[in-house]
Amino acid sequence: MSLSPHLLKAALFWLTCLVTFHVQAATPLPAPPEVTATGYFLVDSHSGKILAEQDPDRRLEPASLTKIMTAYTVFRELRQGNINLQDAVLISENAWRTPGSRMFIEVGKRVKVIDLIKGMIIQSGNDACVALAEHIAGSEGTFSALMNSHAGRLGMHNTHFVNSTGLPHDDHYTTPADIAKAAAATIREFPEYYLWYKEKSFTFNKIEQHNRNRLLWRDESVDGMKTGHTEAAGYCLVASAQRENMRLISVVMGTKGEGARAQASQSLLNYGFRFYETHRLYAAGEVLNRTRIWKGEKEKLPLGLTEDLHITIPRHQYKNLDARLEIEPEIMAPIAKGDVLGQVSVTLNGEPVTEASLVALKSIADGNIWQQIKDSALLWLK
C-alpha cells in the first residue's frame, strides 16, 4: 500500500520524534563539574546516594569543619538533658585565650549556652567551642573523646579529633565522606538546631560578625552548614541545600580561596539538582503486605519498613522503577515486632538501586490449641 506525500511526511515526523526520544532517554549522565579541590563529596541526604566524589576517604585537616561534630555533640547533650540552652557558662582563662576566630567572650563572665552555640556556628568562635567543651566534659580533651565516640557510631571510620575547634594537630583529621555523615546526622536528628546554620549574622558583646558561608546570600535553597580555613587545610566548605523534596550535602576541602570554595560548592549542588531527583517510595511503618502467619493468635501479619525508603535516580526515570517484595515462606508464630521476615528490592531498568529489610509491624503471639491444630492440618494438606 502506498502512502500519500502528506501521510508519508507525517509518518516520518513521528518516527523522527520517537527515535529522538529514544536517543535522549538512553543518553548517559554527564560527568560532574571539574572542581579544583583536594577532595570533594556530593551526596543526597535522604537516600545516601553519592552523586560526585574525589578522594572521598582521604584523611585531611578539617579546620573549622570540626565544629560540625562539636555542635553535634553539644546537641546530643541538650537532648539527653545534661545541659540546657539557658545554662550560664563560666568562661575560663583557657577558653578566653584560645587563638583563631573568636566570638569575644570575656574571662570570668557567664555566657548562656545558646549564645555560645550561635557564636560557634555563626561566628566560628574557637573560644565558644572551648567554653562549651569545658562546661560539658570538664576539659577539651575529654570532650574530644565524646566527639570521637559519636563519630564512630556514625560510621566516620577515617576521622579522629583531638580538639573542639579544628586548630591544626597531626592527629586531628577527617575525610570528605566522613564529615558529610556528621552533617547529615545533624540535619536528620536536630532540625530545630540546624536552623542556626542559616543565620547570616550574630551580635555578641556589641560585636556583629557575619556567617562566612557566602552561599547563604547567593542561593536561597542553601540553608547551612560550615566553612573552615587554615594554611594547611586550605579553604573548606560543607554546604546543604533543599529544593522541593530533595536535599543535597556538598563537601569541598582544600580549595585556594573563599570564592573558590563557594563556587565549587555551588557547581556541585547545581549538578546534583539538575540531573537527579529523589523520591520517598515508602514511609516507615507503612503496611506493604499482609502475609499469612501460621499457628498464631492472628492469621495476618502486617509487614513494612522501620525507616523511610528514599531513592535518588537520574531525572525522568521514575517510570522505569520496579519494586519487589521477597517474604519468607511459612512464617510461624510467635513473632516479635521488628523481626526481619523479608526484603524490599528496588531496580531501575533491571539494575539494582537499593534494598531494605521487611519487618513485622506488630507482634503476634502463639494461638490457642485449636488454632495450632487447625494450622498444622492446613500445613500438612498444603
Q: Tell me the mean pLDDT in the region 342-361.
A: 97
- pLDDT at residue 21 is higher than 70: no
Instruction: Give the range among 28-32, 53-57, 162-166 with minimum mean pLDDT.
Output: 28-32
Mapped onto helix, strand or coil, the DSSP state of residue 323 is strand
Q: Catalytic residue at 92? A: no
Digit-coded pLDDT (tens) for 185-194: 999 999 999 9
Report the run of H or E that residue 293 belongs to, with start and end. strand 289-294
Handedness of CA 331, 336, 341, 344 (dihedral sign): positive
Residues 6 or more apart in contact with residue 206 via CB below 8 angstroms: none
Fold topology of 39-275: Beta-lactamase (3.40.710)
Q: With bands split at pLDDT 50, 70 and 90, how would you rate the model's confidence at 22? A: very low
How long a stretch of residues is the chain? Answer: 382
Mapped onto helix, strand or coil, the DSSP state of residue 272 is helix
**Residue-level pLDDT at 25:** 47
CA distances for 307 relative to 43, 136, 279, angstroms = 19, 32, 14
Between 5 and 195, name the one with better pLDDT: 195
Q: With bands split at pLDDT 50, 70 and 90, how would you rate the model's confidence at 382? A: confident
Distance CA 137, CA 243 (A): 38
Mapped onto helix, strand or coil, the DSSP state of residue 92 is coil
Fold topology of 283-381: Peptidoglycan synthesis regulatory factor (PBP3), Domain 2 (2.60.410)
Q: Catalytic residue at 201? A: no
Catalytic option among 47, 101, 124, 265: 124
> What ranges do the domains of the chain cover?
39-275, 283-381
**Stated pTM of the model:** 0.89
Catalytic option among 45, 47, 49, 67: 67
Digit-coded pLDDT (tens) for 205-237: 999 999 999 999 999 999 999 999 999 999 999
Q: Tell me the mean pLDDT in the region 293-307.
A: 95
Catalytic option among 47, 64, 240, 265: 64
Q: Catalytic residue at 64? A: yes
**Residue-level pLDDT at 27:** 60
Q: With bands split at pLDDT 50, 70 and 90, how would you rate the model's confidence at 276? A: very high
